[in-house]
């Protein structure tokens, strides 16, 4: 084997602490090394040409580049080697920057260490074998989970590029939280007016298969080849026959038993219902928990009035499987409700604000419904308790957010803006009313955001008080809000008619369940974890799965839509070719040796290890062993290290190679 | 049942009715009260406003005395004493440097396993069944506002007692006596505490708010578990009357006193006759012994 060693100065980054000329000189004496040279910038074009030319001229068949971390330039140098005609896996990087020059200051010692590091890489590369990338076929179809604005945007982007999308929404209609909003900041355009055309577009799009009232139960497979199992919950309505005439809804005798989820509990709905008039699809659902027929066996009023015989009382949940190549998760958020403290939550509750106890202490989404023209008050600002117009209203920000004592450490990001919007909408509708906002800081970063908040303060005369509220209690029909004005240094008492709490945005309650079903990491709050917060914000560690919207962290609409388009673009990248190339450095099980203890299965962070049955000629199972799915394996080596019988080999990092590296150093 | 007893200064002075009624009631409930010998100040107000080490070392000394008397549980009826004792123990066990200092001052090692309990916890331990067995007078006619004050539940991370914003365990105990308890808003508001001496205006204002809210919500008596709260709410009603005309007096009773009334004990036996605001009208409504 003829090995070439190329030592990079990285300007002064390495050259200042490591004598690169000496390293090249001493490296040439290592057995197996037939050529070595240093260069000021090995990653530059001329630097790469030094490698390419040396491979050709000196007939090298393996290369060691002593430079920065392989995270930086392994790709660059391997490509240079491949261009010059040697297998790229015969190029090894010796990190003499992050692990040497940057952390030492004695030139002589650092130089000695750099030589050691080069020797290690030389011993490894001697044992490298040429590898070829794994090619996996791609199913050019995407599963989008969640039909809020993020899911809708991703689905439309992918479908408009000409690829099929399966859009799964757990509620009876798509639209998500955005469909509940009255007007949106900072332009005050009507939320429904800008959203519903997109919802209709989704419904009519030939490339989008819409599954509402459905939930993803299981996802198997790997990038390019996922199989999703989706539970289509029983609507008790025949979707083919139903025309959405709404007669069943009108005639349903159950009118007040169920709280209307879409109206955030501020109204009731019949047992058979569509969430809101513009619902997509416009097909009702029967809520079996309140429907008289399911409870007593009598009624069937809906069936009697339905001219299309579309009522299916016996309909059952259906399990549907869909083959897809990529997945976009856009499951959104939940607003933190603070009346009862969930047992296993970090939340300690805000009993002192009386939310859940006082009808006129409401949360942000409830205010959206009250301010919405399609809401329970037809857009008139009225108190839920007695339907009178509140003349004094208090908004409290950061309820649950930025509160380590009682809630979450993080900032929910959108509350400063929506509170300013709420106060503005209130002032626009109640001209003689007074609006107060208790805030900690006003975080209005975004295009036209700060201007929007200033408008609320300066043009609409919303009174902003910096400080927290300690307590709210009812007295003679008023809500006494006791707080602190930290700028004036004085306690404040406001006798309000209504209080709106800007409660925190939290992860969906079942976020972790879905994460486990797909293999997506999540943070301590339940938000899904991206690979890199800056450079890979929409990807997760499971290849082929992307994130969009507030399931990753609190976000407003513009940000969710941008992220949704980014996720769509990432999903589309996969569809650019018929096959996907994957790193061949994956684990392989020695089937003869494997005893089937499945320690590897337990430790694999990517769910890449599966059980494989070994059968004899007669088809009888003779043993069950571990098998690594090369599509899922990320080559981390955990299984390799765990295997008690040394039956797992990590290609490119096998025991022989690793021990050779250790011996080279010892 | 034997329990360590730390009366503190109030219960030997302004709040001696609390001590009197407690001893009577606990005797009927077969609780053997063993007072700590040679106890000293708990470190409240003056000490913890001026010297942190002193405010920790004083209660630590009392805890050590309890330990020497082999008392596993120490009952501190006064909310301020309860707070000082439990906070001092918490601080010493979580701060090694402070522990060293305290041990240096006390010239003794501090390894207290004594559990500190307040009056509500003591009644909880005794149990509602046991309390019910002694009831002679049904107090159904009385509507009480249970007042916890600031120190009984706070700081919650240390006391880990009841709900910090909406406590309800006192109401739970009283339910066996037949007393109706009202829902009100000032359960845990400040009464002004020790400002009673230097800033009477603050205390009259704060106490008035508490009394008004109790009244507004239909209470005819406020039940307290702290001698400081009691003295502010009871003694300052005259000052409130002077400052704000239109103040109607409302009797203030200790939790132990109201339970004592249900046990058929007389006002005199319980020390109720020592209060500034006369409670005889209230007690007549349930035909209690006066």
Closest-CA residue of B relative to A405 is: B157
pLDDT per position as a tens digit, A230-261: 999 999 999 999 999 999 999 999 888 889 99
- B216–chain A Cβ distance below 8 A for any pair: yes
Q: Could you count the other beta carbons within 10 Å of the beta carbon of residue A162? A: 10
SS3 call for A485: strand
Closest-CA residue of B relative to A353 is: B165
Closest-CA residue of B relative to A350 is: B165
- A358–chain B Cβ distance below 8 A for any pair: no
Find the Cα–Cα–Cα–Cα dihedral A304, A310, A316, A321, rounded to 10°.
Answer: -170
pLDDT per position as a tens digit, B272-289: 999 999 999 999 988 877
Residue span(s) of chain A under CATH 3.50.50.60 come to 141-227+317-332+512-574, 335-506
| Res B203 pLDDT > 60 | yes
Q: Tell me how many residue pairs between chain A and chain B have CB atoms under 8 A apart.
A: 16
Contacts of A402 (CB under 8 A, 6+ apart): A408, A409, A410, A411, A440
Which class for A293: exposed (0-12), middle (13-18), buried (19 or more C-beta within 10 A)? buried
Fold annotation for A583-650: Alpha-Beta Plaits (3.30.70)
A496, A478 in Cβ contact below 8 A? Answer: yes
- Residue of A356, A405, A468, A473 to mutate, interface with B, max B Cβ within 10 Å: A473
User: What tokens were used for A578?
Assistant: 């018929």
Radius of gyration of chain A measured on its C-alpha atoms: 31
pLDDT at A231: 97
| Res A21 pLDDT > 90 | yes
Q: Kindly state the average pLDDT of the residues B204-216.
A: 95
SS3 call for A211: strand
| Domain residue spans of chain B | 2-119, 135-285
In A569-620 the beta strands, taken as DSSP E runs, fall at 579-582, 587-589, 609-615
User: Residue A339 — very low, low, confident or very high, per pLDDT cuts 50/70/90?
Assistant: low
Judging contacts by C-beta atoms under 8 Å, the chain B residues touching residue A349 are 165
CA distance A32 to A660: 14
Assigned architecture for domain B2-119:
Up-down Bundle (1.20)
Judging contacts by C-beta atoms under 8 Å, the chain B residues touching residue A351 are 163-166
DSSP bridge partners of A463? A436
A172, A232 in Cβ contact below 8 A? Answer: no
B252, B272 in Cβ contact below 8 A? Answer: no
> DSSP H helical segments within B69-118, as ranges?
79-94, 96-106
Judging contacts by C-beta atoms under 8 Å, the chain A residues touching residue B216 are 475-476
- A475–chain B Cβ distance below 8 A for any pair: yes
pLDDT per position as a tens digit, B214-252: 999 999 999 999 999 999 999 999 999 999 888 899 999
User: What tokens were used for A136?
Assistant: 């996996």
B254, B21 in Cβ contact below 8 A? Answer: yes
CA distance A419 to A393: 12
DSSP bridge partners of B202? none
- B157–chain A Cβ distance below 8 A for any pair: no
pLDDT per position as a tens digit, A213-231: 999 999 988 899 999 999 9
User: Residue A344 — very low, low, confident or very high, per pLDDT cuts 50/70/90?
Assistant: very low
Estimate to the nearest angstrom the gap between the alpha carbon of B275 and the chain centroid. Answer: 16
CA distance B187 to B224: 10
CA distance A542 to A633: 10
Name the DSSP letter for residue A442: -
Judging contacts by C-beta atoms under 8 Å, the chain A residues touching residue B206 are none
Instruction: Give me the sign of the Cα torsion angle A567, A570, A576, A577.
Output: negative
pLDDT per position as a tens digit, A502-560: 999 999 988 999 999 998 999 999 999 999 999 999 999 888 999 999 999 999 999 99
pLDDT at A407: 85
* Terminal CA-CA length for chain A: 23
CA distance B131 to B124: 10
| Res A158 pLDDT > 80 | yes
DSSP bridge partners of B59? none
Query: In Å, how far is B87's CA from the nearest CA of chain A?
Result: 18
ipTM of model: 0.79
- Decide the pairing of beta strands A225-232 and A258-259: unpaired
Q: Could you count the other beta carbons within 10 Å of the beta carbon of residue B80? A: 26
pLDDT per position as a tens digit, A131-142: 998 888 999 999
CATH of domain A3-126: 3.40.50
Q: Which of A334, A450, A352 is nearest to A396 (CA)?
A: A352
Q: Kindly state the average pLDDT of the residues A167-192.
A: 96
Residue B177 has φ and ψ, to the nearest 5°, of -85, -10
CA distance A243 to A309: 11
Calculate the average pLDDT of chain A.
Answer: 94
Q: Kindly state the average pLDDT of the residues A203-216.
A: 97
Closest-CA residue of A relative to B167 is: A351
Record: contact A474-B185, CB cut-off 8 A: yes
> DSSP H helical segments within A311-408, as ranges?
364-371
pLDDT per position as a tens digit, B104-152: 999 999 988 999 999 999 999 999 999 999 999 999 999 999 999 999 9
pLDDT at A348: 55
pLDDT per position as a tens digit, A43-56: 999 999 999 999 99
User: Residue A404 — very low, low, confident or very high, per pLDDT cuts 50/70/90?
Assistant: confident
CA distance A419 to A460: 13
Record: contact B166-A351, CB cut-off 8 A: yes
pLDDT at A338: 62
Fold annotation for A335-506: FAD/NAD(P)-binding domain (3.50.50)
- Residue of B153, B157, B158, B165 to mutate, interface with A, max A Cβ within 10 Å: B165
B271, B21 in Cβ contact below 8 A? Answer: yes
Angle, CA of A24, A122 and A587, to the nearest 5°: 145
Q: Is the peptide bond before A281 cis (omega within 30 degrees of 0)?
A: yes
A426, A183 in Cβ contact below 8 A? Answer: no
DSSP symbols for B227-289: HHHHIIIIITHHHHHHHSSS-----EEEHHHHHHHHTT--HHHHTGGGSSS--HHHHHHTT--
Contacts of A2 (CB under 8 A, 6+ apart): A32, A34, A35, A58, A59, A60, A61, A62
- B165–chain A Cβ distance below 8 A for any pair: yes
Query: In Å, how far is B185's CA from the nearest CA of chain A?
Result: 6
- B155–chain A Cβ distance below 8 A for any pair: no
pLDDT per position as a tens digit, B159-171: 988 888 889 999 9
Judging contacts by C-beta atoms under 8 Å, the chain A residues touching residue B164 are 351
Q: Which of A475, A472, A353, A351 is nearest to B217 (CA)?
A: A475
Please state the pTM of the whole predicted model: 0.81
Q: Which of A348, A443, A450, A434 is nearest to A399 (CA)?
A: A348
Query: In Å, how far is B115's CA from the nearest CA of chain A?
Result: 25
CA distance A631 to A221: 8
Fold annotation for B135-285: Rossmann fold (3.40.50)
Q: Helices H, strands E: what count in chain A? A: 18, 34
- Decide the pairing of beta strands A333-335 and A505-507: antiparallel
pLDDT at B64: 95
Record: contact A474-B165, CB cut-off 8 A: no
CA distance A169 to A178: 14
SS3 call for A495: strand
Record: contact A351-B185, CB cut-off 8 A: no
Q: Residue B62 to residues B31, B33, B81, B112: CA-CA distances in angstroms?
A: 21, 16, 11, 10
Fold annotation for A141-227+317-332+512-574: FAD/NAD(P)-binding domain (3.50.50)
| Res A17 pLDDT > 60 | yes
CA distance A385 to A396: 19
- A352–chain B Cβ distance below 8 A for any pair: yes
User: Residue A90 — very low, low, confident or very high, per pLDDT cuts 50/70/90?
Assistant: very high
Q: Which of A625, A650, A626 is nearest to A637 (CA)?
A: A650
A101, A72 in Cβ contact below 8 A? Answer: no
**Which of B163, B213, B216 is nearest residue A351 as measured by Cβ atoms?**
B163
| Res A346 pLDDT > 50 | no
């Amino acid at each position: 084997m003829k090995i070439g060693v190329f030592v990079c100065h990285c300007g002064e980054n390495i050259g200042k602490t490591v004598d690169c000329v000496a390293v090249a000189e001493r490296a040439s004496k290592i057995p197996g090394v037939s050529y070595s040279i240093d260069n000021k910038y090995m990653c530059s074009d001329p630097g790469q040409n030094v490698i390419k030319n040396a491979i050709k001229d000196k007939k090298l068949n393996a290369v060691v580049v002593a430079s920065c971390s392989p995270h930086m330039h392994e790709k660059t140098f391997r490509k240079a080697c491949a261009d010059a005609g040697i297998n790229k896996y015969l190029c090894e990087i010796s990190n003499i920057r992050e692990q040497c020059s940057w952390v030492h200051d004695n030139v002589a010692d650092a130089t000695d260490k750099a030589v050691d590091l080069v020797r290690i890489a030389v011993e490894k590369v001697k044992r490298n074998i040429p590898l070829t990338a794994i090619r996996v076929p791609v199913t050019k179809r995407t599963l989008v989970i969640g039909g809020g604005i993020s899911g809708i945007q991703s689905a439309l982007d992918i479908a408009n590029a000409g690829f099929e999308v399966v859009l799964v929404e757990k509620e009876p209609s798509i639209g998500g939280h955005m469909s509940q909003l009255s007007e949106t900041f900072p332009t005050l355009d009507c939320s429904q007016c800008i959203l519903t055309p997109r919802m209709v577009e989704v419904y009519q799009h030939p490339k989008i298969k819409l599954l509402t009232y459905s939930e993803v139960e299981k996802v198997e497979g790997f990038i390019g080849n996922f199989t999703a199992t989706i539970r289509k919950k029983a609507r008790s309505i025949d979707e083919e026959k139903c025309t959405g005439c709404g007669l069943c809804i009108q005639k349903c005798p159950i009118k007040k038993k169920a709280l209307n989820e879409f109206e955030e509990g501020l109204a009731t709905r019949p047992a058979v219902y569509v969430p809101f008039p513009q619902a997509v699809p416009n097909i009702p659902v029967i809520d079996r928990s309140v429907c008289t027929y399911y409870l007593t066996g009598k009624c069937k009023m809906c069936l009697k009035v339905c001219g299309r015989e579309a009522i299916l009382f016996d309909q059952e949940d259906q399990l549907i499987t869909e083959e897809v190549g990529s997945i976009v998760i856009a499951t959104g958020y939940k607003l933190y409700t603070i009346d009862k403290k969930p047992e296993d939550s970090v939340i300690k509750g805000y009993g002192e604000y009386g939310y859940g106890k006082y009808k006129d202490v409401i949360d942000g989404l409830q205010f959206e419904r009250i301010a919405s023209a399609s809401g329970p008050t037809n857009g008139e600002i009225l108190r839920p308790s007695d339907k009178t117009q509140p003349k004094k209203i208090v908004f409290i920000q950061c309820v649950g957010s930025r509160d380590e004592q009682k809630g979450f450490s993080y900032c929910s990001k959108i509350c400063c803006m929506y509170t300013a919007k709420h106060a503005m909408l209130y002032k626009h509708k109640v001209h003689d009313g007074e609006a107060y906002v208790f805030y900690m800081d006003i975080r209005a970063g975004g295009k036209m955001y700060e201007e929007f908040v200033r408008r609320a303060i300066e043009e609409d005369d919303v009174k902003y008080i910096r400080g927290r509220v300690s307590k709210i209690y009812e007295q003679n029909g008023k809500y006494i809000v006791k707080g602190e004005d930290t700028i004036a240094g004085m306690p404040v008492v406001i006798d309000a008619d209504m209080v709106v709490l800007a409660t925190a945005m939290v992860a969906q309650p079942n976020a972790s369940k879905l994460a486990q079903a797909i293999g997506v990491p999540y943070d301590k709050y339940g938000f899904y974890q991206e690979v890199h917060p800056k450079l890979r914000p929409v990807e997760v560690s499971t290849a082929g799965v992307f994130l969009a919207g507030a399931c990753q962290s609190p976000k407003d609409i513009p940000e969710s839509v941008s992220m949704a388009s980014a996720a769509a673009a990432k999903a589309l990248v996969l569809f650019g070719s018929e096959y996907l190339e994957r790193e061949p450095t994956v684990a392989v099980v020695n089937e003869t040796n494997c005893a089937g203890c499945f320690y590897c299965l337990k430790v694999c962070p990517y769910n890449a290890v599966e059980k494989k049955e070994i059968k004899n000629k007669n088809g009888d199972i003779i043993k069950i062993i571990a098998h690594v799915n090369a599509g899922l394996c990320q080559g981390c080596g955990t299984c390799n290290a765990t295997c008690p019988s040394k039956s797992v080999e990590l290609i490119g990092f096998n025991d022989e190679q690793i021990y050779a590296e250790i011996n080279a150093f010892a | 049942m034997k329990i360590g007893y730390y009366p503190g200064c109030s219960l030997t002075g302004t709040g001696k009715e609390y001590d009197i009624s407690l001893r009577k009631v606990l005797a009927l409930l077969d609780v053997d009260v063993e007072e700590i010998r040679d106890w000293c100040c708990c470190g409240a107000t003056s000490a913890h406003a001026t010297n942190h080490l002193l405010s920790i070392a004083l209660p630590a000394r009392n805890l050590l005395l309890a330990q020497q008397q082999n008392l596993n549980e120490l009952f501190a009826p006064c909310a301020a004493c309860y707070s000082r004792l439990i906070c001092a123990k918490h601080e010493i066990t979580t701060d090694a440097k402070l522990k060293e200092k305290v041990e240096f001052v006390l010239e003794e090692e501090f390894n207290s396993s004594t559990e500190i309990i307040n009056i509500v916890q003591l009644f909880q331990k005794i149990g509602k069944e046991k309390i019910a067995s002694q009831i002679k007078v049904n107090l159904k006619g009385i509507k009480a506002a249970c007042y916890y004050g600031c120190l009984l539940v706070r700081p919650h991370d240390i006391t880990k007692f009841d709900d910090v914003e909406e406590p309800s365990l006192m109401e739970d105990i009283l339910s066996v006596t037949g007393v109706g308890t009202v829902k009100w808003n000032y359960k845990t508001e400040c009464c002004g505490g020790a400002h009673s001496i230097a800033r009477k205006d603050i205390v009259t204002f704060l106490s008035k708010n508490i009394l008004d809210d109790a009244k507004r919500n239909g209470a005819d008596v406020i039940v307290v578990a702290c001698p400081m709260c009691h003295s502010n709410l009871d003694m300052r009603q005259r000052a409130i009357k002077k400052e704000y005309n239109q103040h109607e007096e409302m009797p203030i009773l200790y939790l132990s006193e109201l339970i004592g009334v249900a046990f058929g004990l007389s006002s005199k036996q319980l020390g109720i006759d020592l209060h500034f605001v006369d409670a005889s009208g209230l007690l007549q409504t349930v035909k209690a012994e006066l």
